[in-house]
Chains A and B, each alone.
Chain A
Amino acid sequence: MKIKTKEDYVKSLKKQNVLIYYNGKKIEDRTTFPAFVPHINSAAKTYELALMPEHEDLLTAKSNLTGKKISRFTHIHQSVDDLIKKVQMLRLVAHETASCFQRCVGFDAINALYMTTYEMDEKKGTKYFSRFLEYLKKLQEENFMLVGGMTDPKGDRSKRPSQQSDPDLFTRVVEKRADGVIIRGAKAHQTGAVNSHEIMIMPTQAMAEGDEAYAIVAAIPLDAKGVTLIFGRQTNEERKFECGIDAGNCEFGMVGGEALVVFEDVFVPWERVFMCGEIDFTGILVERFATLHRQNYGGCKGGVSDIIIGASALAAQYQGTLNASHIKDKLVEMLHLAETVYSGSVACSALGSRTKSGAYYPDPLLANCTKHNITRNIYEISRLAHDIGGGIIATLPFDKDLRSPEIGKYVEKYMKGVEGVSTETRMKILRLLENMTGGTALVESMHGAGSPQSQRIMYQRLGKLNEKMKMAKKIARIKE
């Protein structure tokens, strides 16, 4: 299996027999199921763009392991330039899909593991790094899609994994065997899971003594025995089945097609295990994955925001308000917010540094700042989009009403905006705005790559408050 084109990608997904449930029913062919196809199309863009001369500079890279040209989504960052290109790539793909294209989570997982397994071996004499390199070479060669599986269901948040009344609420090793381990538990909100090939499970948080069974990193094919996927419900998702104007963005997803991935005593051979019991490396692994993932958001959400801004401007143009000064001012504010989040991603990349493994890592404080801004700015961008678009975003008639022989003429007549723009065109833009600015799409901006509180904890840790107090004392000439 070597995946280059969209066709290769879809064919490879078809070959895997993955157990997926949607709305209580088992899905036989994930590649043709209407709820999954938009997510497949989004991820497929990462393959398609890599083959285009005008985009290959961002979508491909030279492997530090083999020297071959590979998908950037399987690359280990070798420089600050690589970190910046990652962000630029994410903005570009978002322009093509107006949605999440899912491959960054696996990308961030391999980079976090590259650095961390190297340091684990250095300190503990383990063999995880060399084992991981073999896996990475296979990933780069075959270019399959990997889910970065971090978030556990977590049960009672006030208790540690080993203190839970149900020990499976955090993914764990239930048995160690001569040939591998047996895994039980689940990973929640798994972006791209239904259209991926494998999942890399990682600990969800720093583990303490007693939690050793939960310090597990392993690569698991999604068609492995015991793996079940349950697709998450999304706002207005049934509109994707109609594939008309009401879907807003019919071809691509709204978010990343998140699913609950359940592991019911899944066997994983040792060559696919990259951490097993090393609790002292769980914290740094989680922090690195989180930082690498938070780095992304000004890229992808900046790109998605560009589409929202464009759609807002078109909505205003179609109803004759584009030249109103307050509309122009709101569009300017949206541009400011979008470029602010993008700046954060570029900044944390530009201040990235080399780790012991040779891989480059973004500045963690600035990466956290970037993601924290996303939890606010995307809501504000969406609020402004609703302001510009008007109440019609919430009350627009159905696509079928427009096409009805009885009432279509009324929709055509009364939903019309300016001369020269059809009612259908206006409806398309309003539905796109609705699709991108409400419900699931907004919540994803809030909680994807960690909830706001997780970033505020990082501010406390990395914000150098004591140094700031010293600086203030110096300026105020305080000696005590």
Chain B
Amino acid sequence: MRQRKRVALKYCGGCNPGYDRVAFFRRIREIAGDSIEWVTVEEPGFEALLLIQGCQTACPERTLGCVESGPIVSIRDDEEDPGDVVKRLLREREK
């Protein structure tokens, strides 16, 4: 049985968001179910990073730079299908 993928969640600070970031993440978490183990960026060893940002400025993209491994999925609005977000997070690292 495949292990749960460790994905780090990072929100922007939310100074003036254009949508409910927490509600959007909850939808992603619900769809992901047991396939993802959610951790914070402070915890080592995560395989992918989900950035939930309130607007197109996307401050964390600027400050975080890069992560060690795995895909970075960056959300700037609630247009994307949460199911697609989960698929992108679970995708194996492209070579």
Q: Does A53 contact B (CB under 8 A)?
A: yes
Q: Is the CB of A58 within 8 A of B14?
A: yes
Known contacts A55-B14, A92-B15; A81/B63 CB under 8 A: yes
CA distance A88 to B11 in the complex (A): 14
Q: Does B60 contact A (CB under 8 A)?
A: yes
Using Cβ atoms and an 8 Å threshold, which residues of chain B touch A55? 11, 13-14
Write the B1-25 contact mask toward A (1 if CB under 8 angstroms, else 0).
0000000011111111000011000
Q: Is the CB of A58 within 8 A of B15?
A: yes
Q: Is the CB of B63 within 8 A of A88?
A: no
Q: Does B28 contact A (CB under 8 A)?
A: no
Q: Is the CB of B16 within 8 A of A91?
A: yes
Q: Does B69 contact A (CB under 8 A)?
A: no
- A306's closest neighbor in chain B, by CB? B16
Using Cβ atoms and an 8 Å threshold, which residues of chain B touch A85? 13, 59
Q: Is the CB of B9 within 8 A of A88?
A: no
The residue that A53 contacts in the complex, of B11, B15, B63, with Cβ under 8 A, is: B11
**Interface on chain A toward B: helix, strand, loop, or mixed SS?**
helix
The residue that A54 contacts in the complex, of B16, B22, B59, B62, with Cβ under 8 A, is: B22
Using Cβ atoms and an 8 Å threshold, which residues of chain B touch A92? 13-16
Using Cβ atoms and an 8 Å threshold, which residues of chain A touch B63? 81
**Interface on chain B toward A: helix, strand, loop, or mixed SS?**
mixed
- A91's closest neighbor in chain B, by CB? B15
CA distance A477 to B40 in the complex (A): 62
CA distance A191 to B40 in the complex (A): 36
Whole-angstrom distance from the CB of B78 to the nearest CB of chain A?
14
CA distance A55 to B17 in the complex (A): 11
Q: How big is chain B's contact interface, by range?
A: 10 to 19
- A339's closest neighbor in chain B, by CB? B16
Q: Is the CB of A54 within 8 A of B11?
A: yes
CA distance A89 to B59 in the complex (A): 13
Residues of chain B in range 44-77 having any CB-CB distance to chain A below 8 Å: 52, 59-60, 62-63
Q: How big is chain A's contact interface, by range?
A: 10 to 19
Q: Does A57 contact B (CB under 8 A)?
A: yes
Instruction: Determine which residue in B9, B14, B16, B22 has the highest number of CB atoms from chain A within 10 A of its CB, and name it.
Output: B14
Using Cβ atoms and an 8 Å threshold, which residues of chain B touch A53? 9, 11, 40
Write the A58-81 contact mask toward B (1 if CB under 8 angstroms, else 0).
110000000000000000000001
Residues of chain A in range 88-116 having any CB-CB distance to chain B below 8 Å: 88-89, 91-92, 95
Using Cβ atoms and an 8 Å threshold, which residues of chain A touch B40? 53
CA distance A306 to B60 in the complex (A): 24
Using Cβ atoms and an 8 Å threshold, which residues of chain B touch A91? 15-16
Using Cβ atoms and an 8 Å threshold, which residues of chain A touch B15? 58, 87-89, 91-92
CA distance A92 to B15 in the complex (A): 4
Whole-angstrom distance from the CB of B9 to the nearest CB of chain A?
7
Whole-angstrom distance from the CB of B23 to the nearest CB of chain A?
10
Q: Is the CB of B21 within 8 A of A57?
A: no
Instruction: Determine which residue in B16, B59, B63 has the highest number of CB atoms from chain A within 10 A of its CB, and name it.
Output: B16
Whole-angstrom distance from the CB of A27 to the nearest CB of chain B?
35
Q: Is the CB of B16 within 8 A of A57?
A: no
CA distance A53 to B40 in the complex (A): 9
Interface residues of chain B, those whose CB is within 8 Å of chain A, are 9-16, 21-22, 40, 52, 59-60, 62-63
4 closest A-B pairs (Cβ-Cβ)?
Answer: A58-B13, A88-B15, A57-B13, A54-B11
A-B contact pairs, 9 of them (CB 8 A): A54-B11, A54-B22, A56-B13, A57-B13, A57-B14, A88-B15, A88-B16, A91-B15, A92-B15
New contact pairs (10) apart from A57-B12, A57-B14, A59-B13, CB-CB < 8 Å: A53-B11, A54-B11, A54-B14, A54-B21, A55-B14, A58-B15, A88-B16, A91-B15, A92-B13, A95-B16
